[in-house]
Amino acid sequence: MTPAAPTVSPAPRDANRPTGILFVCLGNICRSPAAEGVFLHLIRRQGLEQAFTVDSAGTGDWHVGRPADARMRSAAARRGIVLPSRARQITPGDLNRFDHVLTMDRQNLTAVRILAGPGAAAQITPITRYCSRHSIEEVPDPYYGGEEGFDRVLDLLEDACGGLLEALMAERAGG
């Protein structure tokens, strides 16, 4: 049985300010831009664009300035999801600018926590904690695999982002 998504508890913030969400993977061309696109798709469908600021970044700088991997863009497009971002590397400032930083795997989680140090305001969490249909600890990197890996990542991210949005909306409603 998959455990329920945890209650989201960011640092105290102005309730009128959009909630900042940053998705993080290794190079910011597959998983994190896909998570960003999925989350943007979900909030657009519900008319919640003004409630959130959404971005993605990588822990590495190899792909800075590039669009998401063409295979991920193609897989997302088949689902009606647009991946608008360009790769960038996470910065220490991101950990105070965003309320929630969601990582794709243990390596990213460790790198972000090291970058954050003791004083960061953001809540740093593995995205998979919000999955309700899949019992998985990490979102696998599809970069070196076949096309099916990109669809699998999108399946996982649709589940996780849906759970994340549900938890964030419950928190915004005060419960």
Domain extent listing, the chain? 19-172
Strand order across the beta sheet in which 52-58 lies: 52-58, 19-25, 100-103, 123-126
CATH number corresponding to 19-172: 3.40.50.2300
Catalytic residue list contains 161? no
90 contact partners, CB below 8 Å, separation of at least 6:
22, 24, 57, 58, 59, 101, 112, 115
In the numeric block, which tokens belong to residue 19?
């909630």
Q: Which residue, among 41, 42, 32, 124, has the nearest Cα to 87 in the 3D structure? A: 32
Q: Within 10 Å of residue 151's Cβ, how many Cβ atoms?
A: 17
Catalytic residue list contains 45? no
Write the single-letter amino acid at 112: V
**Active-site pick, 31, 71, 73, 88:** 31
71 contact partners, CB below 8 Å, separation of at least 6:
142, 147, 150
Is residue 35 within a helix (H) or strand (E), and if so which, with residue range?
Answer: helix 31-45
What whole-number distance in Å separates Cα of residue 94 and Cα of residue 122?
8
Q: Do residues 145 and 175 lie in contact, with contact meaning Cβ atoms separated by under 8 Å?
A: no
Q: Do residues 31 and 136 lie in contact, with contact meaning Cβ atoms separated by under 8 Å?
A: no
**Active-site pick, 69, 94, 99, 141:** 141
pTM summary value: 0.91
User: What is the pLDDT at residue 117?
Assistant: 86
User: What is the pLDDT at residue 10?
Assistant: 42
What whole-number distance in Å separates Cα of residue 23 and Cα of residue 127?
8
Higher-pLDDT residue of 4 and 120 is: 120
**Active-site pick, 25, 30, 131, 161:** 25
Whole-number mean pLDDT of the chain?
Answer: 91
Catalytic residue list contains 151? no
Per-residue pLDDT reduced to its tens digit, 4-61? 444 444 444 466 789 999 999 999 999 999 999 999 999 999 999 999 999 999 999 9
